[in-house]
Amino acid sequence: MWEANGQWRGSNGKINRERAKVLLLVHTEAADVRAAIMSIIAEYKHDFQQESVLWETAPVCAAF
């Protein structure tokens, strides 16, 4: 997790800016994992009165 500057256009058309947090999750692509992430997003939106939360996905190949 790291700090960032967030920006979005609200439902009222106004551009809003605020401090943000970026959370990087590396996970399998499975229905139960997707459901768990969607649940976390919904709870975050509720707790912090957010209209939306950015969720970006990308396939990766990692090796150790």
Q: Does 19 reside within a domain? A: yes
| Domains identified in the chain, total number | 1
The parent domain of residue 11 ranges over 2-47
pLDDT tier, 1 (very low <50, low <70, confident <90, very high otherwise)? very high
Q: Is 11 a domain residue?
A: yes
Tell me the pLDDT tens digit for each residue of 5-49: 989 888 899 999 999 989 999 999 999 999 999 999 999 999 988
The pTM for the full model equals 0.76
Task: Determine the pLDDT at residue 62.
Answer: 84
The answer to whether residue 43 sits within a structural domain is yes
The residues, any chain, with a CB within 8 Å of residue 49's CB and separated by 6 or more, are none
For residue 40, tell me if it sits in a domain: yes
Output DSSP code: residue 13.
S
